[in-house]
């Protein structure tokens, strides 16, 4: 009898273990090894993802600005659909090059395709061309590391002079004028810029050109043009340099401005300086206009905005994909992933990672375009 009771107990425990394992499997797991998110909201979101015929793996590359957003999306999508997505995040320039050379299913770029890049894409998009789908918005924070200074206000003219090596010390008169109540140290400014071709650089310098053309005489673009300063690769690279270097300053997406990095408030000419927040970036992005033609949905941002509470240094990251002529073996997974990240559920995860969702009227057009990809 005692042996029978022990056997029944073992069977019961075994059944509980199996049911527990099945429950964990149903919730999904993270292929990256980070572990699945067992929260009710994550489970509900994974359950709402439409996988269709998605399978296999996708290779993608591009904007490091959206890397944290992509990581959050991939975790949910892979758990739901079992598709492995390898997004390198090597920078916008690398992503566009990989796309036009047919090396990736889609690319991320913080700048819309140039005419010559559209032309090059026709070689890999059989019967079609590359198009820009705005998917991620957010503020470009100007992160700094100045001991004892937790709050700092700068304007476009001062930033232009700092990044053009015209202002070289933190107690410069121009910085003092903007921060009369701050004890600024006699400390050398260490300005860092991106060493790789970057859409973040492109958007940051567009702000300087639009807001202080007298102090920023460069043409702009993905490659850094000003002389002097120091460089690092990727958003994570410049963020790390700011974190570990006393007197450092650089530009990076808000999600990277953390762990000891403070963000500058921008004097735009509005009644009060504007902080780098998701809500303030959303106000600026909400005024963006679609300027792309056909299925292309590239946007025009107002970098010189003086609207109350609108943060002017913003970017929009595009997912670049063929409108027609996508590879048959990757099209189902590409469409399914893009459909998810453009969905209400996909966009809702952005704020938690320091990004701004795309305005409703624009993301609605993105969703329609995705369904027509072939």
C-alpha separations of 137 from 286, 301, 314, 361 in Å? 10, 11, 7, 14
In sequence order, which residues have a C-beta less than 8 Å from that of residue 55 and are 6 or more positions away? Answer: 81, 82, 83, 332, 333
| The 3-state secondary structure of the chain, one letter per residue | CHHHHHHHHHHHHHHHHHHHHHHHHHHCCCCCCCCCCCCHHHHHHHHHCCCCCCCCEEEEEECCCCHHHHHHHHHHHHHHHCCEEEECCCCHHHHHHHHHCCCCCEEEECCCCCHHHHHHHCCCCCCCCEEEEEEEEEEEEEEEECCCCCCCEEEHHHHHHHHCCCCCECCCHHHHHHCCCCCCCCCECEEEEECCCCHHHHHHHHHHHHHCCCCCCCCCCCCCCCCCCEEECHHHHHHHHHHHCCCEEEEEEHHHCCCCCEECEEECCCCCCECCCHHHHHHHHCCCEECCCCCCCCEECCCCCCCCCCCCCEEEEEEEEECCCCCCCCHHHHHHHHHHHHCHHHHHCCHHHCCECCCHHHHHHHHHHHHCCC
- Please state whether beta strands 153-155 and 265-267 pair in parallel, antiparallel, or not at all (unpaired): parallel
User: What is the C-alpha radius of gyration for the chain, rounded to an integer number of angstroms?
Assistant: 23
So what's the pLDDT on residue 44? 46
Other beta carbons within 10 Å of 1: 5
What would the two tokens of residue 60 be? 């993608």
Longest pairwise C-alpha distance within the chain? 93
* Apex 227 CA angle, 223 and 228, nearest 5: 115
So what's the pLDDT on residue 46? 61
Other beta carbons within 10 Å of 339: 21
**39 touches 28 (CB < 8 A):** no
What would the two tokens of residue 144 be? 């700094």
Q: In order along the chain (374 residues), what is the average pLDDT of each group of 10 residues? A: 41 36 30 38 65 94 95 96 96 97 97 96 97 97 97 98 98 98 98 96 97 97 96 96 98 91 97 97 94 96 97 97 97 98 96 91 97 97
* Residue found by looking up tokens 């700094």 in the block: 144
So what's the pLDDT on residue 353? 85
So what's the pLDDT on residue 258? 86
Instruction: Round to whole Å and give the CA distance between 255 and 238.
Output: 13
Other beta carbons within 10 Å of 290: 14
So what's the pLDDT on residue 322? 98
């Amino acid at each position: 009898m005692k042996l029978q009771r022990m056997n029944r107990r073992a069977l019961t425990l075994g059944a509980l273990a199996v049911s527990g394992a099945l429950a964990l499997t149903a919730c999904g797991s993270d292929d990256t090894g980070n572990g699945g998110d067992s929260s009710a909201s994550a489970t509900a979101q994974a359950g709402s993802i439409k996988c269709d015929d998605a399978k296999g793996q996708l290779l993608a590359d591009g904007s490091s600005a959206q890397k944290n957003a992509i990581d959050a999306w991939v975790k949910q999508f892979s758990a739901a659909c079992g598709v492995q997505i390898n997004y390198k995040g090597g920078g916008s320039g690398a992503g566009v090059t990989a796309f036009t050379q047919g090396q990736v299913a889609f690319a991320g770029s913080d700048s819309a395709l140039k005419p010559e890049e559209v032309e090059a894409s026709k070689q890999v998009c059989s019967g079609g061309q590359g198009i820009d789908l705005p998917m991620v918005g957010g503020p470009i924070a100007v992160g700094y590391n100045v001991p004892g200074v937790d709050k700092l206000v700068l304007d476009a003219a001062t930033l232009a002079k700092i990044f053009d090596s015209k202002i070289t010390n933190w107690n410069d008169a121009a910085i003092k004028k903007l921060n009369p109540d701050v004890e600024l140290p006699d400390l050398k400014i260490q300005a860092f810029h991106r060493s790789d071709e970057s859409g973040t650089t492109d958007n940051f310098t567009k702000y300087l050109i639009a807001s202080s053309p007298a102090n920023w005489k460069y043409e702009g673009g993905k490659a850094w043009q000003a002389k002097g300063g120091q460089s690092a690769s990727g958003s994570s690279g410049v963020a790390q340099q700011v974190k570990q270097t006393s007197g450092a300053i650089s530009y990076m997406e808000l999600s990277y401005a953390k762990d000891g990095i403070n963000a500058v408030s921008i004097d735009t000419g509005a009644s009060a300086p504007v902080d780098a927040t998701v809500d303030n970036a959303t106000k600026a992005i909400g005024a963006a206009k679609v300027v792309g033609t056909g299925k292309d949905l590239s946007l025009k941002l107002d970098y010189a905005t003086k609207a109350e509470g609108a943060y002017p240094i913003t970017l929009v990251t595009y997912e670049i994909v063929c409108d027609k002529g996508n590879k048959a073996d990757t099209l189902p997974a590409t469409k399914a992933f893009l459909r998810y990240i453009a969905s209400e559920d996909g966009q809702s995860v952005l704020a938690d990672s320091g990004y701004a969702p795309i305005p409703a009227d624009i993301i609605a057009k993105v969703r329609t375009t995705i369904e027509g990809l072939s």
